Structure 1
Amino acid sequence: MLPETFKHTIHGVHGENGDVWIRGLPDRLAGWEEKYGIKIGNFYPMTFHFVAEVTLYGGEEAVIKAGLPADKELINEKNALAVFGKGTGMIKLLEDHTDEGFLLLEKAVPGTILSDSMKDEKAVAAAAGVMEEIRADDWDSKHFPHLSDWFKGLERAEDIPERYIKKASVVVKELLSEMHHPTLLHGDLHQNNILSHHGVWKAIDPKGVIGEKEFETAVFCRNYLFDKHHPFAVLQNRLSLFEKAAGLNLDKMIRWGYCGAVLSACWCKEDHMPCADENLKLADLYEKLL
C-alpha cells in the first residue's frame, strides 16, 4: 500500500496526471519486475517519487526510484549522477530507465542517515567533506538548470507577503551578478540525503543545479532547525561551522539562505504543501544576519 501522504503530495504537485500515475503504479511496477527480472521490496520514505528496495536479476541489492513519465527532476537527477559519479561522494547510478520513468541506484549500506548519527559539529564536517567529494569540473557537458532558473519561482509566488518577495528578488539579483565561478551543485544536500556507505558518507538524490557553493548550505541549515530550543543560535553556529570546515563565504551563505528560504516558501505554496510558514520563519532569522 502506498502511503496516503505520498498520494496527497503527488496530487498536489501533478494534479489529475498524478492521480492517474498513482492508480497505474502497481501494474507498472509488476511490469518492470517481469521485464527486467527485478524484485521490488520494502518501501523507503517517499515525497515526490516512489522509492523502494529492489533485488536485481543477479541478486544485487539496489534501490528503485520512479516518477511520472518525462519527469524532468528524474532526468535531471540521472544527468547529475552521471557527472558526480566520477567522484567518490555520491551513490552510483546503476541503470537508467528514465524513458520508462525509473532509475536503478546503488544501495547505501548500512544507509544510516547523517541526522541520526551525530551532533551539528560533526554533521557539518561530514557534509562539508561530501560537498568537496561531489564537486564536478565537467558539468557543462550536460544541460542543467541554473539558480537563475530556480529563482524565477519568486515571480510565481502566491500568498507570500510581498516584502519577502521584494527583498529576495533584490538580493538574488545581486548574488547572481556576483557569481563568477559557478559549478554543478547537488542542490538538496540536507542531513537526510547523506547516508553511510561502507564506512564513508555518500550523498543521494541530487537535483543538479548550476550555482555557487555557498548556496549548497541553505537546505542543510534549514533542516532540524525549529525542533531546537534556540533556532537562531543553532543557525548561526551551523553557518560558522560551514565557514570554517568548507572555507565558504559567510555573507554569501546568509544571503543565499534568505533567498532560498523565501523560494522554498513559494514552492510550498505552489505544491500545496504546509511548509511555507516555517520557511518564512527561517527567512526572518536570516534577515537578522543580513
Structure 2
Amino acid sequence: MPLRMDGCVSIRGEDRMKPERQTTSKQKEQENAAIYARRWELDLLGRVTYASQVGSLFWCRSPRYGECVLKIGKAPEETWTEYYALSADREGIFCRVYEADCSNGALLLERISPGTPLRQEPDPCRRMDRYCTLISSLHRPCRHPERFPTYTQWIRRAARSIERIKEYGELSHHMRMARARYLGLRRRYQRNLLLHGDLHHDNILLGESGYRLIDPKGVIGDPIFEIGRFLINEPYSPSADPTGEDLRLVQGISRRLAIPAVHVLEVFYVELCMTTCWFVEDGQTQQYEERLKHIDFLRSLLDGQSNWS
C-alpha cells in the first residue's frame, strides 16, 4: 500500500473506521509516540502515515541520529522479524535501525532521503531494470534462519486459512493449484536465503547513493520468490491492455534475470493467489473480484504454457 506523506489518514474500503473510533485511535497513537519521544529523546516533526499493514509512522529528529522515522503499532512478532531482517543487513542496502522495543511494536529507523519510491519512476523499462539490478545482488545466507518464517510456511498457512472460509471456494481451488505449482518450483529452486518478503515499489526508496529498502517482512526461501511482489504491484497505464502488460512483465523479468518465463509466470500466479487469501482473511475484499479475474487470466496463461520458453 503506498504511503501518504502529507500527514493524512489513508484508509480505504472496509478498513475505514467510524469517526469516534478514529479519534480514539489517533489519541492513543499520539500518546504512544510521545512515550518514545521522551524515551529516545526525539523531536516529533509530524505523522507520516497510518495503515494497518505498516503501523504508525512519524518523522522525527534525534540529537544522536539526525533525521529518522518512529514506527509504532505493529504486532510484536512482526516487529521482531522486521528488526532481525534489518539487523542482518551488512551491505547498507536496508535502512538502519537505531533503537527498538520489539515487544511493544516500536522501532526507530533511519530516514531515507530524498526517499522517492521506485513507483515514481515513469519509464517501465527503467523501473524493471533498476529492480532487477537491485534484486540480483541482494540476497545472502542467513546466520539465524530460525528467527524467520519460511515461504513454504506462508503458502501452507494461506491454503489452510482460505479452506476454512466456505464462500471463497473458487479462490481456495486456485490456492491448491498455486501450492502445487509452488512445490514444483521449490524442487528446482532450493536455496534458503533471507528474503525481504515484501519487495514492491513503495518499499524501494531512492537514497543519496542509490536505492535503499524499507519495511522487510523477513522470510526464508529461494530468491525467485522475491519477484512476486514486484509483479503484482507493477502499475499499469490506464490505457494499457492488462493482457499485454502481464506478458511484458513476465518476459521482461525472465530476460533480465535469466529465469525461464514459465517459472516467472508461476511465481506471479502463486504470489497473487497467496496475497489474495491474506486480503480475504483480513476482511479486505473490496478488490476481490478484480483480483480473481487476474488470477483466472494467469491460470489460463499457465494452461497454455507450451507457448512459453
Say which SS state the counterpart of residue 26 (structure 1) adopts: helix
Task: Tell me how far apart the structure 2 counterparts of residues 10 and 182 of structure 1 sit (CA, whole Å).
Answer: 38
* Counterpart residue identity of residue 251, structure 2: S
Structure 1 equivalent of residue 82 of structure 2: 77
Compared with structure 1, are the counterparts of its residues 174 and 261 closer, same or farther at alpha carbon in structure 2 (3 Å cutoff)? Answer: same
Cα distance in structure 2, aligned partners of 1:59 and 1:201: 20
Q: Which of the numbers 139, 142, 150 marks the counterpart of 1:138?
A: 142
Question: Sequence identity, in percent?
Answer: 21
State the AA in 2 paired with 1:232. T
**Partner SS for 1:63:** strand
Tell me how far 1:110 sits from its aligned partner: 0.6
1:54 aligned counterpart, secondary structure: strand
Aligned to 1:197: 207
1:247 — aligned with what?
258
Matching residue of 1:56? 62
Give the corresponding residue for 1:286.
298
Residue in structure 2 matched with residue 98 of structure 1 by the alignment: 102
C-alpha spacing 1:135/1:169, structure 2 compared with 1 (3 Å): closer
Worse-matched range after superposition: 101-110 or 275-284: 275-284
Query: How much does 1:142 deviate?
Result: 5.0
Q: Which residue of 1 aligns with 2:44?
A: 40
1:213 Cα offset (Å)? 1.6
The partner residue of 1:118 within 122, 146, 150 is 122
Moved over 3 A (4+): 6-11, 18-23, 139-142, 176-179, 225-228
Provide the C-alpha distance between the structure 2 equivalents of 1:62 and 1:143, rounded to a whole number of angstroms.
Answer: 26
Q: Is 2:240 aligned against 1:229?
A: yes
Tell me, what secondary structure is at the counterpart of 1:40?
strand
1:148/1:278 CA distance change after superposition, 3 Å:
same
Q: Give the letter for the 2:294 counterpart.
A: L
Query: How far does the alpha carbon of each residue in 1:76-125 deviate from its partner, in whole angstroms, 9 at most, with x for none?
Result: 11111111x20242222222221332111111111111111232111111
Q: 1:67 aligns with which of 63, 70, 73?
A: 73
Q: Which runs of 5+ in 2 are unaligned?
A: 1-6, 303-309
1:272 and 2:278 aligned: no
TM, length-normalised to structure 2: 0.82
Query: Is the Cα contact below 8 Å between 2:79 and 2:102 reproduced in 1?
Result: yes
SS at match of 2:69: strand
Describe the SS at the equivalent of 2:225: helix
Does the C-alpha gap of structure 1 residues 3 and 143 become closer, same or farther in structure 2, counting only changes over 3 Å? same
Aligned pair in 2 of structure 1 residues 59, 257: CA closer, same or farther (>3 Å)? Answer: closer
Contact 2:100 2:107 in 1 (8 A): yes
What number of residue pairs does the alignment pair up?
Answer: 283
1:207 aligned to 208, 214, 217, which one? 217
Quote the Cα distance in structure 1 between the aligned partners of 2:120 and 2:201. 9
User: Aligned partner of 1:78: which letter?
Assistant: Y
Distance 1:226 1:139 in 2: 42
Measured after TM superposition, the shift of residue 6 of structure 1 is 8.0
Aligned partners of 1:167 and 1:100: how far apart in 2? Answer: 38
Deviation at 1:227, TM superposition (A): 4.2
Secondary structure in 2 aligned to 1:105?
Answer: strand
Find the counterpart in structure 2 of residue 148 from structure 1. 152
Seen in structure 2, the aligned counterparts of structure 1 residues 73 and 7 have a Cα distance that, compared at 3 Å, is farther
In structure 2, relative to structure 1, the CA distance for the partners of 1:45 and 1:239 (3 Å cut) is farther
Task: Report the AA paired with residue 61 of structure 1.
Answer: E
Gaps of 5+ in 1: none
Alpha-carbon displacement from aligned partner over 1:127-158 (angstroms, at most 9, x marks no partner): 11221343122354551111111112111113
**TM score, norm. by length of structure 1:** 0.86
Aligned partners of 1:139 and 1:209: how far apart in 2? 13
Q: Does residue 30 of structure 2 align to residue 26 of structure 1? A: yes
CA separation of 1:82/1:6 partners in 2, compared to 1, >3 Å: closer, same or farther?
A: farther
Distance 1:198 1:272 in 2: 39
Structure 2: how far apart are the matches of 1:181 and 1:211?
6
| CA–CA separation in structure 2 for the residues paired with 1:9 and 1:235 | 29
Shift of 1:8: 6.5
Aligned residues: CA RMSD: 2.7
**Residues 90 and 134, structure 1, Cα contact 8 Å, conserved in 2:** no
| CA apart distance, 1:19 | 10
CA 1:37/1:29 → structure 2, altered by over 3 Å: closer, same or farther? same
Change (3 A) 1:193 1:145: same
